[in-house]
Structure 1
Amino acid sequence: MRILISCDMEGISGIVDWEQVTPGTAEWGRGRKLMVGDVNAAINGAFVGGAEKVTVSDAHWHARTLELEDLDPRAHLNSGSPSPFSMLQGLEDGPENGRERYEAVVLIGFHAMAGAKKAVLCHTWSDKVAGVWLNDVHVGEIGLNAATAGHFGIPVIALSGDRVACLEAQTLLGQDLEVAVVKEGAGRFAAECLPLAEARERICDAVAKAVTKYRAGQKRAPFTLASPVRLVVEFQLPQHVDNAYLLPGTTRLSGTRLEYSAADMVMAMRAFRAMTLLAGNN
């Protein structure tokens, strides 16, 4: 069984502030250490559950946050950006390109969508984005990635993050999703964090249980969307849309909202990424 672990940073144990997740800041090095600790717990859990191969996709910033020398040596690492599938790089692997297909996805260190209440560092891709809808379903990065995996028939089987992120995932993907709550948000920049040993034990246990269930035939259904996929993105400011509207095929619904009709979820995700890049930084 081959597992793909996507690891973001804002939902990692002990993380509560942008300084811990932003390159070049005083706390960046500490944040990276916290991240690899959670990732290694997930890798161990996958192997405990019976996985045969594990690959980690670095899903934070420019995908160079994880250092290979600190990663569990049993796992491979997808690193660097841009890449075709971004947070889920490698997802397209299969016999058609001479690679073994992934059977399941695990999301580690994920955060809640933009605007969520008492959710640590909540956002959707960037603070330029106020909201995203796929076929009228309100989603954050959890939903965007789950739907992209679903396009390939691959389910998300486990997730770690703060309590709000875990609830968001279970609401969207089903209450049977294995989750590891590693902190309780008191606000966007405050949380009660579990001791690292306890948090990582939860991560290891959740992933091991999810993989064990999958191998025993209790396979979770992938999160799939009907095609074409209607993507709607609400930006924070009109100038963001002035720029993002340059993407061919977009329809401007209001000063801050764009719509795009995509042939499938892969194209919808590419359109979303292009919009956020075009939107600029101001």
Structure 2
Amino acid sequence: MSSTSAAATLDAESIKPVTGWSGDADYFVVREHQAFEPEAVLDVLRGKVAGVIFRGMVKPEDCAELANRFWNNPNRQTRGVEAPGYYMGAYTWQKPTAQYLDETEQIAAALDEYLDVPNNPLDTFYGGLADALAKEGGTVRLAQHEGRQGCRALLRSWHGQGEYALAPHDDNSQLTQPGQVDFEIQKVGNRPTGALNICLENGNGGRLAYWNIQADVTSKTALGVEHTGSPYPMASLEGIEMKWVEVNAGDVYVFNGNHVHAVEPNTDPSLRRTTLAGMMGFIDDRTVVTWT
């Protein structure tokens, strides 16, 4: 996502390195699993580990079916001009609560039809997470506001042509948007904001860049990203530990989106990186809500 915030107008020489919280070596890792283990997702949501990836969780034929359904879907929309991205679903970024929920309701039937496939990976993921939480007396559900529910999922394929297809950003800052003070997702607060990505297709490149920093309010304000989380100039990330996470079609991964992260572009512009995505977080000790 791009932003017209103060970060875009800062002189590179005046940008100071981001300050904030960084985890130790035991925490700052993306643990790999060869099968889906929902309890590992809870470790991310509770801040015990930075991320987790389930290799090959979605079968190739299911990835191909969902990717084809997205690219051939009349409800797919374009975002951006010079390097357009494509998406289907509703997203909360820089929108008041009512607008997000209105857009959610407008796309709900199309999303339901899109996801009406055997082996729906979204159902598998959230069903497993719900079972794991139920053992502790907890629940997972869509975020709610005045009887209305948030969006089930967001399909997206970003095509930025710079150093990153999706510029460095964090997912927690947007939870402080003034236009969403009435929306329960803001109860996540400083708890981990879980970013779910189900990779449907990927070409050469398309790795996740993940920095070991959760920026503090001072840094966010100086960069003008305190309510958007985007973009962090590269100069602000110099000297901060960063990991590359290889992502392949069929992989499902969840990471703490409070950390600054970005997406590497494909080296071949003709190849696409498409994901089925969502956000989640604890709003109290037992309740996980999801949104997009």
TM-score bracket, normalised by the shorter chain, equals under 0.3
- Larger helix percent: 1
Using the size of structure 2 for normalisation, the TM-score is 0.27
